[in-house]
Structure 1
């Protein structure tokens, strides 16, 4: 990715200070999603390493991961799998508890969403501590998927999430970084 593209994508992300609590700067990608050129360029850049590769499914983490994941799935001609908060999927699910900054939560996937051996790319808008992505990878692996990559538009490297996912043996692709929280 060119430095110019990284600059343009970074400029298309709105920063909201003290949200959701004092001291946090929320990185809002809805402005990037609302800019057709920035959205297209971000999706194209996320999928570039897998162009022409066999990808069976793209799994998106609720909620912004659905938007990006659907676009990525379209680009790589694969199916899309939603990973949702507990109780939001209508069919039989498998669940995984994951760590939050303070406490835990659960995510779920339909039990038949991926088949053993399917190659899956995990997608979300942002990686911070990596707890949700780690839980999603464990969930996909529990179903027998091969998680070939985890892709995020935004990385908050100071929080260590991308490094945590790489330590699980999953390549990580991020497009832009913001320091701090």
Structure 2
């Protein structure tokens, strides 16, 4: 069987994303990636496209940082393909041992994120992975955590980018790679 093209992979991914209006609050159109996870071909397509991008644009990457909770779904698979480690950025109070944390605003509230103090080494080149970029609050917080840890953020990867919310602007100067745009 012939390998799928980039366009075919993107079409498959796009078909597996569902929209739920007014979730988690009225006025938010939630983009659900659960059908991607249910379909092994769609999940493989996401990881294939992420891997291709990383190998072409930042082969010097040393560590994948995944955001709570959906970055945990894509990040370890990508890290395994690249032969590098994976670390977690979690919601406040979920990690054992000494942690470093930051507060940030979401499009519909506030939150705190943290990482274990020894998860990232100073100067380490990291790539941050999540499922969705909206206003950039969560990814921005992860970038701030990496800065506190003196790591070098090489870029951010997301499956979905909500372009009208301009989260990319908030993340400058860090490059963002998105598979699907709404």
Q: Same fold (TM over 0.5)?
A: yes
5 Å-filtered alignment, 1:151-170, equals 151-165=157-171, 167=172, 169-170=173-174
Per-residue CA deviation, residues 13-62 of structure 1 (Å, 9 max, x unaligned), is 12122222233221110110111001011111012122271221100000
Per-residue CA deviation, residues 67-98 of structure 1 (Å, 9 max, x unaligned), is 11111111111111100000000010001111
Inter-partner Cα distance in structure 2 for 1:170 and 1:136: 12
5 Å-filtered alignment, 1:53-132, equals 53-132=59-138
SS at match of 1:60: strand
Residues 1:140 and 2:153 are matched in the alignment: no
Match of 2:31 in 1: 27
Q: How far did residue 122 of structure 1 move?
A: 0.0
Runs of 4+ in 1 over 6 A off after TM superposition: none
Instruction: Report how many aligned residue pairs link the two structures.
Output: 176
RMSD: 1.5
Give the TM-score normalised by the residue count of structure 2: 0.91
Which structure 1 residue ranges, 5 or more long, are not aligned? none
Q: How far did residue 102 of structure 1 move?
A: 4.8
Residues 1:16 and 2:20 are matched in the alignment: yes
Which structure 2 residue ranges, 5 or more long, are not aligned? none
SS at match of 1:114: coil
Match of 1:43 in 2: 47
1:48–1:65: structure 2 CA closer, same or farther, 3 Å change rule? same
Q: Is the 8 A contact 2:6 2:49 kept in 1?
A: no
Give the TM-score normalised by the residue count of structure 1: 0.91
SS at match of 2:19: strand
Match of 1:177 in 2: 181
